[in-house]
Amino acid sequence: MSAVAAHADVEAHVAEADYQERTRRNRLGLWLFFVSELFMFGGLLVARFYLWRENGEIVRPELDQNLGLIITSILLLSSYFMNRAEVAIAHNDRTNFLVSLLITAALGTVFLVGVVVFEWGAHLRPWDGVFGAVLFGMTGMHALHVLSGIILILNVWWLGTKGHFSAEEHWGVEACAIYWHYVDLIWIFFYPALYLIGRAVPA
Amino acid sequence: MRGHYRTGILVLIALAVLTGIEYVIAVSFPSTALLFLVAIMKAALVLYYFMHVTSLWSEEGGH
């Protein structure tokens, strides 16, 4: 091996090690951001169990159970397609990667429509006492994260169509995927808290 | 690669089944503790398989 080739090889190794180190730090930063967000979502969850009570008994407003189940299933399905996009780019399957991202964004949009149009369009309003305030606070803050997640996914998709990301370097896709799964994770706790736990009472 | 896709499908099925169980618990024998237990199981699946939480303390930096 010539000295020039050996030098190029060393440089490639250094660049890869540098990328791995940066990815490790980025990942830690992202998770620290999630921890900070947990305080907000945790606060909302605590508020729900503190305020939605009648004579010490946990209650909840009568919400559309079918709608709750459908939008929850849609969000879970979107998480699968987000994972599929990540696996696809890790194996340089660009077509599957781009299609899976679009499906994820579409499912996220359907979830958003389910919450904003159908749930918010039902009988409860934000000013309807603790039921309205907590319901809109929880679903509103979550919907905002879903919306930002959709924008992020479409941004990653756009970059993907321009040839960005590869099997070796796709931290951007991983970060987007983890963020989307985090949004799903929050809903895993919000769904039973809003729709299932406690005695249903007329709002 | 097919194996990786299969893992995703299996996790999705598990999450769907647990969501169904959650719904059945809520309508037949409502229990806050049980519902939270199922939610924690679902969260663990998402954290482990989808969010790769273990990569935080793995030596390899990954992508």
Q: Using a CB–CB cutoff of 8 Å, tell me whether B2 touches chain A.
A: no
Instruction: Please check the confidence at residue A98 and state whether its pLDDT lies above 70.
Output: yes
| Mean pLDDT within A186-199 | 96
Closest CA of chain A from B32, distance in Å: 6
Flag if B12 and A77 touch (Cβ within 8 Å): yes
Flag if B63 and A174 touch (Cβ within 8 Å): yes
Residue in B with minimal Cα distance to A92: B1
Residue in B with minimal Cα distance to A70: B19
Q: How far apart are CA A109 and CA A93, in angstroms?
A: 25
What share of chain A has pLDDT > 70, as a percent? Answer: 99
Q: Using a CB–CB cutoff of 8 Å, tell me whether A33 touches chain B.
A: no
**CATH superfamily ID and name for A32-201:** Cytochrome c oxidase, subunit III, four-helix bundle (1.20.120.80)
Residue in B with minimal Cα distance to A182: B51
Flag if A184 and B50 touch (Cβ within 8 Å): yes
Flag if A185 and B43 touch (Cβ within 8 Å): yes
Of A68-82, A86-100, B49-63, minimum mean pLDDT range: B49-63
| Mean pLDDT within B39-63 | 85
Residue in B with minimal Cα distance to A32: B56
pLDDT mean across residues, chain B: 88
A-chain CB neighbours of B9 within 8 Å are 80
What share of chain B has pLDDT > 90, as a percent? Answer: 68
pLDDT mean across residues, chain A: 93
Instruction: Please check the confidence at residue B60 and state whether its pLDDT lies above 90.
Output: no
Confidence of residue A123 (pLDDT cuts 50, 70, 90): confident
pTM across the whole model: 0.91
**Between A4 and A158, residue with greater pLDDT:** A158
Domain ranges of chain A: 32-201
Q: Using a CB–CB cutoff of 8 Å, tell me whether A181 touches chain B.
A: yes
| Mean pLDDT within A102-127 | 94
Q: What was the pLDDT predicted at A11?
A: 76
Prediction ipTM score: 0.91
Closest CA of chain B from A140, distance in Å: 21
Other Cβ atoms closer than 10 A to B20: 13
